[in-house]
Amino acid sequence: MKLKVLGAAGEVTGSNYLVQAGNSSVLIDCGLHQGRDEERKNREPFQFNPSDINAVLLTHAHIDHSGRIPLLYRQGFKGKVKSTLPTSDLVEVLWKDSAHLMSEEAKWRSRKNARKNLPPVEPLFTDTDVEKAVQYLDATSYDDVIEVAPGVRARFRDAGHILGSAVLELFLNEEGQEIKLVFSGDLGPNYPVMGRNPAFIEDADYVVIESTYGDRVHKTNEQTREEFRQVMGKALKDRSRVMIPTFVVDRAQRIFYELMLMQEEGLLRDNVPIYFDSPMGVKATEIYNEYPALFSSEVQSHIRKGSNPFSPEHLNFVQGVEESRAINEVKHAIILAGSGMCNGGRIVHHMKHGIWDKNNHLIVVGYQARGTLGRRIVEGAKTARIAGEEVSVRAQIHTINGFSAHADRNDLLKWASNFKSSPSFFITHGEEKSSKALAELFEDKGIQAYIPVVNQEFNLVPERELPVKDEKIVPVAPSEKENELNVILSDISILAENLRLKKHEFEDTEKLKALLRSSKVLLETVDNQVSSKK
């Protein structure tokens, strides 16, 4: 039995794992990469033949977990995508939106290319691929054990991250040997405001755990609520535009809930209009309203009283592009739009029109991956290239981390400590420093942890076969050394490719050219030394 880590290693996006038992091959998630090098990474060929895969098990709808699934169908996959019912509802909306954005982007880039006599750009996948993928969605209930493929059974447990999110228990069987492998998926915090607590599991041989916030402790729900109210209070006093880039599934609904509470308590006056500028987000909110039983007691108590927790007063759902543009004329408003990391979507246009003005406010309420516009702004960029234009960043920027739908360092430790069977942990889905910090914490507590690199493969061995516990994690091949080398070489080719794409921007800069020449000499030196070793 084998586990291969194909994504979300050393980063938080692009989740993708291959699990093999006997002749069965199952994928856990198949997500898009976001942020640095996303274009190249998303177009990279799969490390397996899609037609050899029996099924995909999807932990939750977020696009960094689900976004490459339509591409699997385009390349010959014919199996089912198993997930919870809310996930299958949400993912359909997210895929359609992605296909639309990709086709818009491809058209725009093709026009740009045509002017330079370059070939047109194809979108990663199209509406047609999505329509096909949707037909293979197969919903399952939380807590039922389901047959996935010969030798592979699975059970979805509530992960408390977003609506429909799941921790996945996999029961593998090969020649009479059994292994239990658990995937945390994206794990919600303990005591979540919106969802339910993540399911605690007691037994496993191996656990793959996320580490988005492996190095951080979130503020409490009360502190976060207070922080948001203070920032909103100031912004409202300025009677300015408040821009909130947000993931339109879950985070947007959470912000609506907070705004509704503020209205109930008289903290949001003047009938300030709230715009939700995301056709996809509107649909996602409708889906949220369909599953009241999956929310926290706090949210349920509002539903019981007859209020809609995700619909504050003066909320306008924006559909068309014209309607979206019209918001530019509104001086005092709260605007929510995707994408959550500002690397696309309508928020980019609102930022272009509003971020130069020091009276305006930008409230960042979610994770910003390396290489995204959101991350650059949070890190203090004074100017930014937004929708093709260099814009100065003078608006007041606020970051509120406590809204995270992710477990923090303490939550992760608590969840991991609940296993009674001393499983070995693979720490993934985090930037290097978060994963390392979590691994150190685990080791301090006597929990065996290993941080895999991308494309690393492991033999899964039943506990009783092992002479020494420390040998439980056995990478197959290539070795760690080879992998390190692969990563360096791959980084170099990515950088070179990126520079080639941007070369018109520095064609006339002698200094940069000189730097590139030196890099070339360094590479040649390595090559010469390798050749002389032969």
| Residue 31 vs 79, nearer CB to Zn ion | 31
Q: How far apart are CA 106 and CA 39, in angstroms?
A: 12
Which two three-digit tokens encode residue 505? 């921007």
Q: How far apart are CA 111 and CA 130, in angstroms?
A: 24
Distance of closest approach, residue 448 Cβ to Zn ion, in angstroms: 26
Stretch that binds Zn ion, among 61-69, 104-112, 337-345, 359-367 (CB under 5 A): 61-69
Provide the β-strand partners of residue 425.
207, 449
Residue type, 425: F
Distance of closest approach, residue 62 Cβ to Zn ion, in angstroms: 4
Does residue number 251 form part of the binding site for Zn ion (CB under 5 A)? no
Q: Is the dihedral of CA 513, 517, 520, 526 positive or negative?
A: negative
Query: Residue from 89, 186, 210, 250 that binds Zn ion (CB under 5 A)?
Result: 186
Distance of closest approach, residue 431 Cβ to Zn ion, in angstroms: 15
Stretch that binds Zn ion, among 11-19, 56-64, 222-230, 418-426 (CB under 5 A): 56-64
Phi-psi region of 176 (alpha: psi -120 to 50; beta: other; left: phi over 0): left
| Residue 62 vs 409, nearer CB to Zn ion | 62
Distance of closest approach, residue 250 Cβ to Zn ion, in angstroms: 8
| Residue 21 vs 287, nearer CB to Zn ion | 287
Q: Report DSSP state, residue 516.
A: H
**Parallel, antiparallel, or unpaired: how do β-strands 456-459 and 2-5 relate?**
antiparallel
Which residues between 313 and 332 bind Zn ion (CB under 5 A)?
Answer: none
| Residue 295 vs 458, nearer CB to Zn ion | 295
Does residue number 33 form part of the binding site for Zn ion (CB under 5 A)? no
CA-nearest of 140, 107, 139 to 121 is: 107
Distance of closest approach, residue 276 Cβ to Zn ion, in angstroms: 20
**Is the previous residue joined to 339 through a cis bond, with omega within 30 degrees of 0?**
yes
Distance of closest approach, residue 513 Cβ to Zn ion, in angstroms: 42
Distance of closest approach, residue 186 Cβ to Zn ion, in angstroms: 4
| Residue 62 vs 155, nearer CB to Zn ion | 62
Stretch that binds Zn ion, among 54-62, 226-234, 327-335, 393-401 (CB under 5 A): 54-62
Which residues between 421 and 450 bind Zn ion (CB under 5 A)?
Answer: none
| Residue 251 vs 375, nearer CB to Zn ion | 251
Work out the angle at residue 246's Cα, subtended by the Cα atoms of residues 200 and 104, and round it to the nearest 5 degrees: 120
| Residue 31 vs 423, nearer CB to Zn ion | 31
Distance of closest approach, residue 175 Cβ to Zn ion, in angstroms: 35
Residue found by looking up tokens 């929990």 in the block: 447
Q: Is the dihedral of CA 199, 201, 204, 207 positive or negative?
A: positive
Distance of closest approach, residue 161 Cβ to Zn ion, in angstroms: 6
Distance of closest approach, residue 60 Cβ to Zn ion, in angstroms: 6
* DSSP codes of every residue in 266-308: T-S-TT--EEEE-HHHHHHHHHHHT-GGGS-HHHHHHHHTT--
Distance of closest approach, residue 42 Cβ to Zn ion, in angstroms: 17
Residue found by looking up tokens 């939550």 in the block: 411
Does residue number 155 form part of the binding site for Zn ion (CB under 5 A)? no
Phi-psi region of 164 (alpha: psi -120 to 50; beta: other; left: phi over 0): left
- Count, residues in the chain: 534
Contact 95, 151 (CB under 8 A): no
Stretch that binds Zn ion, among 40-48, 184-192, 314-322, 446-454 (CB under 5 A): 184-192
Sequence-ordered list of residues with C-beta below 8 angstroms from that of 499, at least 6 positions apart, any chain: 516
Which residues between 353 and 392 bind Zn ion (CB under 5 A)?
Answer: none
Stretch that binds Zn ion, among 72-80, 180-188, 224-232, 276-284 (CB under 5 A): 180-188
Output the CA–CA distances (angstroms, integers) from residue 507 to 419, 493, 500, 512, in the order listed: 57, 19, 10, 9
| Residue 365 vs 384, nearer CB to Zn ion | 365
* DSSP codes of every residue in 368-413: --TTSHHHHHHTT-SEEEETTEEEE--SEEEE-GGG-SS--HHHHH
| Residue 155 vs 406, nearer CB to Zn ion | 406
| Residue 65 vs 302, nearer CB to Zn ion | 65
Does residue number 11 form part of the binding site for Zn ion (CB under 5 A)? no
Does residue number 129 form part of the binding site for Zn ion (CB under 5 A)? no
Distance of closest approach, residue 85 Cβ to Zn ion, in angstroms: 17
Does residue number 62 form part of the binding site for Zn ion (CB under 5 A)? yes
By CB under 5 A, the count of residues binding Zn ion is: 2
Does residue number 158 form part of the binding site for Zn ion (CB under 5 A)? no
| Residue 92 vs 186, nearer CB to Zn ion | 186
Residue 326: Cβ within 10 Å count = 12
Stretch that binds Zn ion, among 59-67, 198-206, 289-297, 384-392 (CB under 5 A): 59-67
**Parallel, antiparallel, or unpaired: how do β-strands 177-183 and 166-174 relate?**
antiparallel
| Residue 125 vs 367, nearer CB to Zn ion | 367
Binding site for Zn ion (CB under 5 A): 62, 186
